Amino acid sequence: MSNNIASINEQIQAYATLFKLPAIKNSFSSLADEAAKKNLSYTQFLLKLFEYEYETKIQRAKEITLKMAGFPKVKTLQDFDFSSSPVDRNIINELSTLRFIENAQNVLLIGPSGVGKTHLAIALGYLATQARIKTKFITAQDLLLQLEIAQQTNRLQHYFKKVINTTKLLIIDEFGYIKLDANQANLFFQVINKRYETGSIIITSNLSFTKFKEVLNNDEALTTAILDRLIHHSHILNIQGESYRLKQKREAGVLLGLDKSL
């Protein structure tokens, strides 16, 4: 009897492998035991198997999308301290529906260092990955480095095709900390131009729009072209306030001596 059961189990595993149903292959035995205890009908048990396979595939897809996004650390909106931020929560709630991605709109998070721009960008990106939307997080410096390497190795178009064009949500962090030369500014324009009205961008920057030209090699025409494409169909959040990190340290008394010396 036990040999017969083992043979049946092996056949089920073989068919599950053939039809690419790994979750069923690995768990059908325990699911069958559970179904027997609950006196499920054959149809109910079959439905349970397919539901389990589907849910497992969805979860796996979320995990892969999250891993491929490249976040330095996962941040969520639940972790964001809205009570200490001037950010309009209604706007964030709207963005959290991810309709801006469906409509290929941009999100521009502008403000000084430490006010939560990157946190919000990653949190929105995390929501996208949980909706299985292909997302890529990258700093402006790393993006330009990758673009230059691709350009130097004659793989720029390949990079655009495989990375820039196929990503539904591109998050560019810390734009404005490093000034770009003419070639870098042109490469950055190409990224913005290729995604214009086709894919969403979230950009965090410590600079107001009037300062963008200083970073973009003082090229007024190029700056205008970039801002025109970024701002059109965009949600702009200008976040002003004290740095979260400095505020936390001050409240903890870490900056007490420094405050007195200022």
Predicted TM-score of the model (pTM): 0.86
| Predicted local confidence at residue 1, as pLDDT | 47
CA distance 262 to 235: 37
Q: What is the pLDDT of residues 165-199, one digit of tens each?
A: 999 999 999 999 999 999 999 999 999 999 999 99
| Predicted local confidence at residue 254, as pLDDT | 47
User: Mean pLDDT, 10 residues at a time, over the chain (262 residues)?
Assistant: 71 91 91 92 94 96 98 97 90 98 98 94 99 98 98 98 97 97 98 97 97 98 98 95 55 48 41
| Predicted local confidence at residue 213, as pLDDT | 98
| Predicted local confidence at residue 7, as pLDDT | 84
Greatest distance between any 2 Cα atoms in the chain? 84
Burial 194-216 (b: 16+ CB within 10 A, else e): ebbeebbbbbbbbbebeebbebb
Q: Which two tokens stand for residue 113?
A: 């260092």
Residues 227 and 209 sit within 8 Å (Cβ to Cβ)? yes
Q: What is the pLDDT of residues 3-17, one digit of tens each?
A: 576 788 889 899 989
Strand partners, 135: 169
| Predicted local confidence at residue 8, as pLDDT | 85
